[in-house]
Chains A and B, each alone.
Chain A
Amino acid sequence: MADAASKEPAVRRERLAGLSTTREHVSVTPGPPAARLALRAGEDALNSVSRALGVSVPRKPKTSARAKSGGRVALWLGPDEWLVIDDDGADLPAAAGRAKALHSAVDVSHRNVAILVAGEGAEACLAAGCPQDLSLAAFPVGACSRTVLGKVEIVLWRTGEQTFHVEVWRSFAEYAYAFLAEAARDV
């Protein structure tokens, strides 16, 4: 044990490192690493948890909320379930732990991989495998939902009119990326 500290810490190897697809109307690229928290809490704990995390966790289905500053977002996944993503890699379990109210905070930073789909063809690219209505009227900017893409489950979050953020479990990430890259050929 004595020499443990003297060794170099393990290097991080991202799942989709080095991949990138750019087509005329759409690009599909892996998102950078981020801190992620699976947050579960009852209605009565939301104010407390929101204060602790510095982001007002949304109560409305299919919506997300960003922190006033910094790259932190809370995505509504279910009536007592949110995915909190922090682009800066903050210690989210510690932040959530400051909330006194009852909740569950589980670090899932490495469980998910982000894939960014951007461009005027982004909607069509995702529509190759996602059965939801992704029109701006039905899935506006900020909308988010757990859903399916081809044969895997994803969390889909619309970050802009022509940009989507896809969250997928890491062992499904290669499939999801390849699926979107193939779909990108057809938009």
Chain B
Amino acid sequence: MLLIHCPYCEEERAELEFRHAGEAHVARPAEISAESDEAFEGYFFIRTNPRGIAYERWRHIHGCGRFFNAVRDTVSDRFFTTYKAGGKKPDAAKFAGAATDGKDKG
């Protein structure tokens, strides 16, 4: 069970309190009815599903109820950071070298 830092509750809580909510930073077009078929396909159906650093949404559904964003390594399951909805997308380069690979982290 993962431990997830809720940026609103300002502490880590058990995964049981959360629900995954898909990829982050996929904004609904302001003029959605004017979107082309291709653009709508890209918005609604296409997801990056990366191996490694992923931007995703979570909801602290059994906590404060807020949706927020997270950067997580899909290989190690490690969360690099979580931030409030609407927050700026952190640069992936910040986390590229951050995988835990040292000896005892004691």
| Size category, B interface | 10 to 19
Q: Main SS of chain A's interface residues?
A: strand
CB 8 Å contact bits of B6-17 with A (1 = contact, 0 = none): 001111011011
Q: Does B86 reach chain A (CB closer than 8 Å)?
A: no
Other than the given A131-B1, A146-B64, A147-B62, 16 more pairs (CB < 8 A) read: A61-B9, A61-B10, A62-B9, A77-B64, A78-B8, A78-B63, A79-B64, A79-B66, A131-B13, A131-B14, A132-B14, A145-B9, A146-B17, A146-B65, A148-B16, A153-B62
In the assembled complex, the Cα of A46 lies from the Cα of B75 at a distance in Å of 43
Residues in B with CB closer than 8 Å to A161 are none
* 23 A-B interface contacts by CB (under 8 A): A61-B9, A61-B11, A77-B65, A78-B8, A78-B63, A78-B65, A78-B66, A79-B64, A79-B66, A81-B64, A131-B1, A131-B13, A132-B13, A132-B14, A145-B9, A145-B63, A146-B63, A147-B13, A147-B62, A147-B63, A148-B16, A148-B17, A153-B62
* Contact of B64 with A61 in the complex, beta carbons under 8 Å: yes
In the assembled complex, the Cα of A77 lies from the Cα of B1 at a distance in Å of 23
Which 10 pairs, one residue from A and one from B, show the smallest C-beta to C-beta distance?
A78-B64, A131-B14, A61-B9, A153-B62, A78-B65, A148-B62, A79-B8, A148-B16, A131-B16, A61-B10
122-151 of chain A: CB within 8 A of chain B: 131-132, 145-148
In the assembled complex, the Cα of A17 lies from the Cα of B14 at a distance in Å of 33
In the assembled complex, the Cα of A75 lies from the Cα of B62 at a distance in Å of 15
Closest A residue to B63 by CB, please name it: A146
CB distance from B18 to the nearest CB of A (A): 10
Residues in A with CB closer than 8 Å to B16 are 131, 148
Residues in A with CB closer than 8 Å to B11 are 61-62
48-71 of chain B: CB within 8 A of chain A: 62-66
Residues in B with CB closer than 8 Å to A147 are 13, 17, 62-63
Closest A residue to B8 by CB, please name it: A79
In the assembled complex, the Cα of A145 lies from the Cα of B66 at a distance in Å of 13
Residues in B with CB closer than 8 Å to A78 are 8, 63-66
Among A61, A81, A131, A148, contact of B65 (Cβ-Cβ < 8 Å): A81
In the assembled complex, the Cα of A148 lies from the Cα of B9 at a distance in Å of 15
CB distance from A136 to the nearest CB of B (A): 16
Among A61, A131, A148, contact of B8 (Cβ-Cβ < 8 Å): A61
